[in-house]
A and B are shown apart, each in its own frame.
Chain A
Amino acid sequence: MFNIPLFPTEASTTASRVDLLFFALMGIIVFFTALIFVGVIFFSIRYRQGSRASRKGATSENLKLELVWTIIPLCITMGIFAWASKLYFDMHVPPRDAMDIYVVGKQWMWYIQHPEGNREIDELHVPLGKPVRLILTSQDVIHDFFIPAFRVKQDVIPGRYTTEWFEATKVGEYHLFCAQYCGTGHAQMVGKVIVMQPWEYEQWLSGKSSTGATMSSSGEQLFTQFGCVTCHKSDNTGRGPSLIGLFGQKVKLQTGQTVVADMDYIRESILDPTAKVVATYQPVMPTFKNQIDQAQLMQLIEYVKSLGKQQTASKGK
């Protein structure tokens, strides 16, 4: 009953690395705090008014000493900086084989879609020992997807995608918090991250949270439903460019610039189609801004992504 944790669980590959750095910092903090406290207390007792301690040779300048305590902290901080930057960089670049999970934050809940089609609210199921990349966006204000046990945190911003990755190392249930203040229900925008053994995860995927259709097949359905398919024909004869093999490739625009067809580009092209028009095509596509929600957008993107993988297969058609 009397459960007073003083240190958070380490449940991801990142967690132990972050904690190691944190302990190093704590060492430095304790050392310097002790140095100053002891210095102030010792000097003020030894040289208190009326004490007989010798005051001979007191100076108010000592260039060497001043340089020493400028340069030593400088070296220490730059050392930490190098260490920290390496780790920060690693925390930003997910391994290539990371699996994607899509997250939409809205006041005040987390809506999560797995590519396999499972959907959940305020809960995130992930397999143990497999890198997971979260693709995050917000439907309204800025939120933040924070899992203390994994030592990861990322703002979730309307109008763009951010990512966050981790690899869980310990089976269990962990806190999920919204860390960016987002209004009335901010403190209730919490949930659970459930780390499962891979086989349990497979079981869970086929369980009751399953919708029966994968995200990309839901996306394909939307592609037909919104009529995208009438222009974006797969054989490149439509009024819009074919989307086969598009994802991750460079696209030449009307203006002569090139952009990479990433998630943000596809998203922008659906919501604001005339912003970046592909060379040789006309800006005729209407916006789908008010017809499509964030979760559906992610399904469409997942579909376009799946078309990207088809590249070699579809060329033969």
Chain B
Amino acid sequence: MEASESTDHVNYLNNGYGVKSWLLTTDHKRIAILYLISITIFFMIGGFFALVIRLTLLSPEGTLVSADTYNKMFTMHGITMIFFFLIPSIPAVFGNFLVPMMIGARDLAFPKINLLSWYVYIVGGMFTLTAMVMGGVDTGWTFYTPFSSGYSHTNVVPTVIGVFILGFSSILTGLNFIVTIHKMRAPGLTWFRLPLFIWAHYATSVIQILGTPVIAITLALVGFERIAGVGIFDPNIGGDPILFQHLFWFYSHPAVYIMVLPAMGVVSEVVTCFSRRKLFGYRQMAFASMAIAVFGFLVWGHHMFVSGQSVYAGMAFSALSFLVAIPSAVKVFNWTATLYKGTIRFQTPVLYAFGFIGLFTIGGLTGIVLATLPVDVHVHDTYFVIAHFHYIMVGGAVMGYMAALHFWWPKMTGKLYSEGWSKLAALILFVGFNLTFFPQFILGYLGMPRRYHIYPPEFQVLNVLSTAGASILGLGYIIPFFYLMWSLRKGKTAGDNPWNAKGLEWLTSSPPPTFNFEKTPIVNEEAYAYTDGVFEEDVAGG
């Protein structure tokens, strides 16, 4: 009844149609859409690079592209996927869209800065894209010196400028979230009533604020070193290339948590909604998010176990890396326990959330292998590492992103997508992902180093399997693109709360009005106040 009217009401989407009304908007929801479009484009670019990589590796002789081209491909795949897709993915799209709504605010604290962050992202992206078009860059996304500063013949400077600029977009987003979460919560919404999505974004923002500036200055120093021909990482004048690695990983390890913490927040929302249960161990989950953010800053040295750092430094970083695994493990246990005695509905978002839990478990546990010093010595810089971090970043972060996309799509667009197609796509993604990356664990332990475009012939079968998986995985990403586009035109109207979910964002209409709420909601219950284990009346009643 109300649902049919909701297309007519004034909402953030139909409140102005001109180009200006989008490009100069300060509405967090429109900015989220701008981000959604931009990161999707970067995801496609990064996916294209991945395609070339996998096709090259079909044959041990690497005949598809030259060595230099291959090196550029994996470098640009890493840079686009990490800096331009994964890091902004959930925070800049769903965080932007949902943080104000989940806490009952009209917008983020600094809407103009929010818009600025998108423009900064675009400018950074332009620099990096220009570098790619001009011939690319081949340093690896890690920019290790002295290769990046003195030996590479590619467009390192425009690329690091792009990443440097991009960093500020991430910082501005984090800053906005921190202030918004601190100062703009609706009456009655205490810290321990916040949805875990908000806790996750708070923890993420802390990392963005404290980590990103360090990589910014580090890459700036690499840029200067290239321009001046001399710099502080130059071993010829007594500089230490290992110092670069310390500074780089001080950000880039926590950056993994920038990618995965928000996905964990999404999973908490989705699992509770589709099991009609309060989250098991809410407080522990909130503390775990913060613990991950804090401990995440103390483990960067585990990327350097074979770099010649001292044995004792290695041991300290190893111990801390084991510790950071504990809060992650706790989260997985708590999600599983939430299902116990719930009332589980198998709809697309929860399939992705289950995918996250399973794949993140494998990714996390193989992370334990990498924290184990002597084993890391063997698998360091091999495909084992590649498989591990794709399980975390694709199996974890991207699955979380897909869960978020399917969970909040009806809220963002007011439309429902096809349940059948979306379930099929989720299944294809899960199968394709495992087929792509599981063989890489075996390849890694066999000793196949990463960043090789030619390899000994005995590794071919596993590589072919991986490429076959990648083509299935690619299909799994293309299908959602079509049915989501389709839903915009022909999808059923969603109604305000299609999942019968709790959380303030579901109290307002879909799509929400520009200022989110008719009047500021007042909160008087805890998060996820689903009636435990009781089958609730269906959507129509609500």
Contacts and interface: CB of A to CB of B under 8 A. Distances in A.
B341 A140 contact: no
B344 A33 contact: no
Contacts of B152: 183
A157 B372 CA distance: 23
Nearest to B335: A40
Main secondary structure of the interface of B (DSSP, over half): helix
Contacts of B452: 177, 186-187
Nearest to B70: A187
B273 to A, nearest CB: 12
Contacts of B341: 47, 53-58
Interface string A176-213: 01111111111110000000000000000000000000
Interface string A64-89: 01100110011001101100110111
A260 interface: no
A212 to B, nearest CB: 33
A237 B381 CA distance: 51
B533 A55 contact: yes
B458 A3 contact: yes
**Which of B241, B372, B450, B461 lies at the interface centre, i.e. has the most chain A CB atoms within 10 A of its CB?**
B372
Contacts of B150: 141
Given A21-B372, A22-B445, A179-B381, A60 B339 contact: no
Contacts, number: 271
B502 interface: no
Interface size class of B (residues with CB under 8 A): 35 or more
Nearest to A150: B378
A43 B535 CA distance: 16
B485 to A, nearest CB: 30
A148 B533 contact: no
Interface string B259-290: 00000000000000001011111101000000
A60 B343 CA distance: 14
B37 interface: no
Nearest to B343: A49
Contacts of A178: 449
Contact of A61 (B235, B281, B368, B461): B281
**Which of A22, A29, A88, A151 lies at the interface centre, i.e. has the most chain B CB atoms within 10 A of its CB?**
A88
Contacts of A180: 144, 381
A160 B279 CA distance: 53
**Which of B332, B378, B532 lies at the interface centre, i.e. has the most chain A CB atoms within 10 A of its CB?**
B378
Interface stretch (B102-110, B311-319, B395-403): B311-319
A107 interface: yes
Contact of B308 (A17, A21, A155): A155
A73 B326 contact: yes
A286 interface: no
Interface size class of A (residues with CB under 8 A): 35 or more
A288 interface: no
A313 interface: no
A6 B442 contact: yes
B147 A183 contact: yes
Nearest to A39: B336
A175 interface: yes
Interface stretch (B87-95, B121-129, B359-367): B359-367
B242 A157 contact: yes
Interface string B321-344: 011011001101110111111111
A153 B308 contact: no
Interface string B348-385: 00000010011001100110110111110110111000
B138 A155 contact: no
B140 A187 contact: no
A33 B434 CA distance: 14
Contacts of B280: 59-62
B62 A32 contact: no
Interface string B132-146: 000000101000101
A175 B358 CA distance: 35
B226 to A, nearest CB: 14
Interface in A113-159: 140-142, 144, 146, 148-149, 151-155, 157-159
B289 to A, nearest CB: 15
A4 B365 contact: no
12 contacts: A3-B458, A32-B329, A33-B362, A44-B354, A55-B533, A70-B284, A70-B326, A144-B381, A159-B236, A181-B144, A182-B147, A187-B453
Interface of A: 3-8, 14, 17-18, 21-22, 25, 28-29, 32-33, 36-37, 39-40, 43-44, 47-50, 53-62, 65-66, 69-70, 73-74, 77-78, 80-81, 84-85, 87-89, 91-92, 107, 140-142, 144, 146, 148-149, 151-155, 157-160, 162, 175, 177-188, 272
6 nearest CB pairs, A to B: A148-B447, A55-B533, A159-B235, A88-B373, A58-B341, A77-B322
